[in-house]
Amino acid sequence: MNVERGGYSTPSGDVIQMGEGISIDLGSALPYMVDRLLTVFGKDSATAEWRLEITRMVRLSNEQASHVQCVGMPRPTNRSQVA
């Protein structure tokens, strides 16, 4: 393929020349494009870490809220026993 004419890619896919002086290095752009595509579907690493943190915080909050202790009680009581 002829890279000098613009709009064509090299057989190895390394660099695509696009018109006068514009080129894209696919080796550097591919990881960015993959990450952006995964972000659209919520499968990127930042979203996975965020979901893990939210899950951990919800579990901790649920555990902490399951026990109730009022003034004068010797120890906390399970929330389901208070009614």
- What are 14-70's pLDDT values in tens digits? 655 566 777 777 788 888 888 889 989 888 888 999 999 999 999 999 888 888 888
Asked whether residue 50 is domain-assigned, the answer is yes
Overall number of domains in the chain? 1
- How far apart CA 16 and CA 4 sit, in angstroms, is 9
Mention every residue, 6+ apart, whose C-beta is less than 8 A from residue 19: 6, 7
Asked whether residue 65 is domain-assigned, the answer is yes
Reference 65, options 44, 47, 82, 46; nearest CA is: 82
Asked whether residue 34 is domain-assigned, the answer is yes
Asked whether residue 48 is domain-assigned, the answer is yes
Confidence of residue 11 (pLDDT cuts 50, 70, 90): low
Asked whether residue 5 is domain-assigned, the answer is no
Which residue range(s) make up the domain with 24?
Answer: 15-81
Asked whether residue 1 is domain-assigned, the answer is no
**pTM of the model as a whole:** 0.51
- How far apart CA 77 and CA 62 sit, in angstroms, is 14
pLDDT (0 to 100) of residue 5: 47
Asked whether residue 44 is domain-assigned, the answer is yes
Mention every residue, 6+ apart, whose C-beta is less than 8 A from residue 64: none
